[in-house]
Structure 1
């Protein structure tokens, strides 16, 4: 059994890969019913999280069953704390009705999915693995004493805790956790992300051929640091004007970022191009000259690995996850977080550097799902 939020791409890919060694896999996907409003008001942001969008069966083996779990809660900390029990009741009710119980539970994100896994282990004695991906380990347990207690209890209930980076493991070590912890990064699909002809990709996306393209991909939220990237582009265009920065993503900061672009007079140099389907991302990666990840905090950042797999150098901040991936001078450059001037200098340097594309691609191979698959299966086989 897999417990996840919104059936994120890295979870879907992992399930697809690992399902081949199991007779059957049940995936319980938590979603917020308010997103169903998009059937009446078809806004792009809501549509991406609509129930029928979440149940993406592309390439998925027939042995995988996907079960949407609707949970309504107000977007506040108090409400989020309370959904764990409701999530457990919904999943446990379905198990009772089906009378089919799994041999293993793998929950992605400690809360609330990990809590559900911990409760199911307690009730039925099923081996339980939880993956701490990001905010659930570097943010939630340090908000207050109640969150700390909840997260520690869930982690200690697990037979194995997986987390995607060493910086995340350091967060676990700051807690009172006795369960074994293994670092297993997220992976990318090498059959989708590989070097393609840049000019052809640009033509397919109707992008200019004669400009240096800087690409950033991420939700338009504060932690992704796009405001600092826009400030950095103001510095970049003082040095060279043949550049175009494309920001792929959707989110609550869209209008604020648009105003910032306008106020700095960067309309010809920075574009918010909206969210794009994941299967289109290889085109955007290959159309670029440099990929930028300006995040204030990042547990791993699979997008930078996908860019590397396409042979593109990465300019990233020292955000916690990128330091473990980017090799300065070989696969990209690192700079301080929230430092537009330093980010601008790194972008300009990256644009002027003759990068070894083969070396960058080689640096990504460690993170292909084929490499990571054996680490996850090793965890599973020790428990079953």
Structure 2
């Protein structure tokens, strides 16, 4: 059995059970469907004085076995908001003793970084120390934020030059990497997977009643439910969704996620006169998401940047069309009217897109068919072929 050591700063833990869930599903699928044995190191940043949420994160830094994958969670010193420059060094310093010990016990064939930054530079240092090839993956923010300039862009360029292989979550993201001159080398496109047993069209009316009871949503049965999924941060554009709701005569907006913009978004809803039509549901479990998606008429996610959002795929698989801007791999997902609309990032355009989708009246089965190619097994097998090629090239 071939062995890969993956480093990912985003990975679920007991404090943040959905944090980096897409990485966890990928690694679990690789372990389940292929001949690769997976070990994950999930370094957790904790300030020298850990208070509040950081204290809870420190307590969550506990090793575990999840979905057939061994997950090790060391901590590294973090200086919030200003320490990004040293994060790769701090991660490498924290992870190296663990990686050396594991490699001495049973050698790895390959190292893997799940994000260009800060994971990529940290893994590049590990690879040099252990004498192993490594793969690195681009997901979105690591390109469109960290890849724009300064120390992080330089670190990303160096990492990509040294990597044995490079992946991106969409063709559009790969092209953006080339356009930003991050690398001239070949970039493989590796789409996300999908749990088809979990994400499928459920009975819409039953799911509406279920979430109305569970979350206390007071809304008429004939009012469309719009759903926003993602952290309550400016980059996700939930403020635009709220303003768009104000332009619609009917409809309610439910926002799933947590973040420090919740109070500001609530004030905006009040100012726009839609406070009674905006519902903050907080964080929800992965198992609840298909229920909420099946209960909604439209997923609205006007993000400023994305690679290829898992929420897009999961919504469509549940039969819920999407209204999104032309970011990342949007045009690789919305390829027909039944999948939804790609719109400008303005309240007016978003509202118009929502109206158009509501008028289309495609069946939920027709919407779900637009993402029939996404599957965790196919995802895992493609990743295994990529890894196989890297170690065969080295032999």
Which one of the candidate residues 23, 36, 42 is aligned to 1:11? 23
Instruction: Tell me which residue corresponds to 2:294.
Output: 286
Q: CA deviation at 1:125?
A: 2.2
Could you say if the C-alpha distance between residues 211 and 35 of structure 1 is closer, same or farther in structure 2, counting changes exceeding 3 Å? farther
- 1:147 and 1:263 map into 2 onto residues whose CA distance is 39
- 1:184 and 1:383 map into 2 onto residues whose CA distance is 15
Instruction: Tell me which residue corresponds to 1:83.
Output: 87
What SS class does the counterpart of residue 111 from structure 1 fall into? coil
Deviations 1:157-191 (A, max 9, x none): 11110011122112221325244310112222111
- 1:116 and 1:327 map into 2 onto residues whose CA distance is 37
Count of aligned positions: 369
Alpha-carbon contact 2:207-2:295 (below 8 Å) kept:
yes
Q: CA deviation at 1:6?
A: 3.0
Could you say if the C-alpha distance between residues 163 and 202 of structure 1 is closer, same or farther in structure 2, counting changes exceeding 3 Å? same
Alignment of 1:126-141 (within 5 A): 126-141=132-147
Instruction: Tell me which residue corresponds to 1:155.
Output: 160
Alignment of 1:196-345 (within 5 A): 196-205=202-211, 206=213, 207=217, 208=219, 209-237=221-249, 241=250, 243-337=251-345, 339-345=346-352
- 1:123 and 1:352 map into 2 onto residues whose CA distance is 59
Q: Does 1:383 align with 2:390?
A: yes
- 1:286 and 1:56 map into 2 onto residues whose CA distance is 32
- 1:28 and 1:328 map into 2 onto residues whose CA distance is 40
Could you say if the C-alpha distance between residues 74 and 33 of structure 1 is closer, same or farther in structure 2, counting changes exceeding 3 Å? closer
- 1:26 and 1:269 map into 2 onto residues whose CA distance is 45
Alpha-carbon contact 2:61-2:75 (below 8 Å) kept:
no
- 2:285 and 2:48 map into 1 onto residues whose CA distance is 18
Deviations 1:273-307 (A, max 9, x none): 21212221111101111111111211111101100
Instruction: Tell me which residue corresponds to 1:111.
Output: 117
Instruction: Tell me which residue corresponds to 2:40.
Output: 27
- 2:343 and 2:136 map into 1 onto residues whose CA distance is 32
Could you say if the C-alpha distance between residues 56 and 286 of structure 1 is closer, same or farther in structure 2, counting changes exceeding 3 Å? farther
Higher relative contact order (CA 8 A, sep 6+): 2
Deviations 1:244-266 (A, max 9, x none): 11111111111100000111221
Instruction: Tell me which residue corresponds to 1:171.
Output: 176
Alpha-carbon contact 1:35-1:46 (below 8 Å) kept:
no
- 2:55 and 2:287 map into 1 onto residues whose CA distance is 19
Q: Does 1:354 align with 2:358?
A: no
Alpha-carbon contact 1:36-1:51 (below 8 Å) kept:
no
Could you say if the C-alpha distance between residues 119 and 362 of structure 1 is closer, same or farther in structure 2, counting changes exceeding 3 Å? same
Could you say if the C-alpha distance between residues 378 and 218 of structure 1 is closer, same or farther in structure 2, counting changes exceeding 3 Å? same
Give structure 1 stretches of 5+ with no counterpart. Answer: none
TM superposition score normalised by structure 1: 0.89
Q: CA deviation at 1:198?
A: 1.4
TM superposition score normalised by structure 2: 0.87
- 1:381 and 1:277 map into 2 onto residues whose CA distance is 34
Alpha-carbon contact 2:134-2:165 (below 8 Å) kept:
yes
- 1:305 and 1:103 map into 2 onto residues whose CA distance is 32
Deviations 1:114-133 (A, max 9, x none): 11221122222212110111
- 1:189 and 1:250 map into 2 onto residues whose CA distance is 24
- 2:280 and 2:182 map into 1 onto residues whose CA distance is 43
Identify the range of structure 1 (206-215 vs 120-129) with the bigger mean alpha-carbon deviation: 206-215
Give structure 2 stretches of 5+ with no counterpart. Answer: 12-19
Alignment of 1:366-381 (within 5 A): 366-381=373-388
Identify the range of structure 1 (157-166 vs 359-368) with the bigger mean alpha-carbon deviation: 359-368
